[in-house]
């Protein structure tokens, strides 16, 4: 027990707010592109306030921790929709294929859209009658291996693209993650390094330099183009722990019908201060799950709530429906829905 307490305190200290941020250090907030890569994928993870690097064991693991897809027993498919503020929508689709007992292959696609935004100018502050939109895409392929019965490792290569009106930019990145069962009172650890890759530089026809003709009043493209700066995508390091306080697989209190799991994550993005996530999940009879969580050191996002239903439709079929509710402070409340299917 003394050994367990020592490990637990070390991990809590390492993931607590301020651990990696020195006093007076210049903030890097707002210095990265592709911010949609920070948004939650999967309603279960969102309901747990993103404390999911260790708990990830479904198709949404393709986003959170590529090692987690190794825990999916069969073929897996999932879709989720994040209904955000200002009519912004964030959509995810993923598919996992078992190659053999020790190896799983996964594919994912993420699409974020701002919806139509009215164009305004100095001459037309109430709108020109035209609209534009922004869209963001992430698509990748994942491979996960079971190295031992306690240690899982995963790797993802992905394409990331961002478009604003007529300007766009893209890059490639990769994620790497692991999950480890310590064997000490059911304590499990998770680690993920995500969005390690190049920079994005926006480019497009709206950056063309035009020259006005004083005689005709028209304008022509002079052949030059304004050059924008390139910015990194949000490289993020996640470290998490989780434990079943009671449940079928708990080393503390065994219960076949009830499970209570606690999770703690620290995530350290390159363009923000270290953040802290906590979540708790109660599951009854492997059918109904109730979830809650809290985010620390975020600008507006705070508490989260959610629920899930599992339907066993036969030996090789299982359906899971999840919902999450989150408070984003001044930005209002957000909702996320997810559907997962194993066959």
Residue 317 contacts residue 57 (beta carbons within 8 Å): no
Contacts of 169 (CB under 8 A, 6+ apart): 33, 161, 162, 200, 201, 202, 203, 230
pLDDT score at 113: 92
List of domains in the chain: 42-198+233-342 (2.40.160.60), 200-232 (no CATH)
How far is it, in rounded angstroms, from Cα 273 to Cα 314? 46
Residue 259 contacts residue 244 (beta carbons within 8 Å): yes
Contacts of 97 (CB under 8 A, 6+ apart): 75, 104, 105, 106
How far is it, in rounded angstroms, from Cα 82 to Cα 301? 14
Phi, psi of 2 (to 5 degrees): -65, -35
Strands 103-113 and 134-146: antiparallel
pLDDT score at 182: 92
- ∠ CA 170-326-59, nearest 5°, is 55
pLDDT score at 131: 86
The pLDDT profile of the chain, 343 residues, written as one tens digit per residue, is 444 444 444 444 444 444 444 444 566 777 788 999 999 999 999 999 999 999 999 999 999 999 999 999 889 999 999 999 888 999 999 999 999 989 999 999 999 998 888 888 888 888 888 888 889 999 999 999 999 999 999 999 999 999 998 899 999 999 999 999 998 888 999 999 999 988 999 998 888 777 776 666 566 666 677 888 899 999 999 999 999 999 988 888 899 999 999 999 999 888 888 899 999 999 999 999 999 999 998 888 899 999 999 998 766 578 999 999 999 988 889 999 999 998 8
């Amino acid at each position: 027990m003394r050994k367990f307490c020592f490990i637990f305190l070390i991990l809590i200290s390492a993931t607590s707010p301020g651990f990696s941020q020195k006093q007076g250090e210049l903030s890097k907030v707002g210095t990265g592109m592709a911010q949609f890569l920070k948004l939650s994928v999967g309603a279960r993870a969102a309901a747990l306030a993103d404390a999911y690097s260790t708990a990830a064991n479904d198709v949404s693991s393709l986003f959170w921790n590529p090692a987690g897809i190794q825990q999916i027993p069969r073929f897996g498919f999932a879709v989720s929709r994040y209904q955000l503020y200002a009519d912004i929508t964030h959509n995810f689709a993923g598919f996992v294929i078992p190659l053999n007992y020790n190896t799983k292959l996964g594919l994912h696609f993420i699409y974020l859209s701002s919806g139509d935004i009215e164009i305004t100018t100095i001459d037309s502050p109430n709108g020109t009658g035209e609209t534009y939109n922004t869209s963001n895409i992430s698509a990748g392929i994942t491979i996960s291996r079971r190295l031992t019965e306690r240690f899982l490792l995963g790797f993802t290569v992905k394409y990331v693209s961002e478009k604003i009106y007529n300007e766009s930019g893209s890059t490639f990145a990769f994620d790497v993650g692991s999950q480890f069962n310590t064997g000490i009172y059911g304590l499990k650890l998770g680690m993920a390094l995500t969005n390690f890759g190049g920079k994005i530089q926006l480019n497009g026809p709206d950056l063309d330099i035009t020259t006005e003709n004083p005689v005709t009043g028209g304008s022509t493209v002079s052949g030059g183009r304004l050059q924008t700066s390139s910015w990194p995508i949000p490289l993020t390091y996640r470290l998490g722990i989780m434990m079943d306080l009671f449940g079928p697989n708990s080393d503390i209190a065994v219960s076949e019908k009830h499970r209570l799991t606690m999770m703690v994550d620290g995530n350290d993005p390159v363009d923000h201060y270290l953040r802290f996530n906590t979540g708790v999940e109660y599951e009854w009879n492997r059918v109904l799950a109730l979830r809650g969580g809290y985010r620390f050191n975020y600008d507006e996002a705070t508490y989260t709530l959610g629920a899930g239903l599992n339907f066993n439709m036969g030996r090789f079929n299982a359906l899971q429906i999840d919902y999450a509710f989150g408070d984003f402070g001044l930005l209002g409340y957000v909702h996320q829905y997810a559907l997962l299917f194993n066959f």
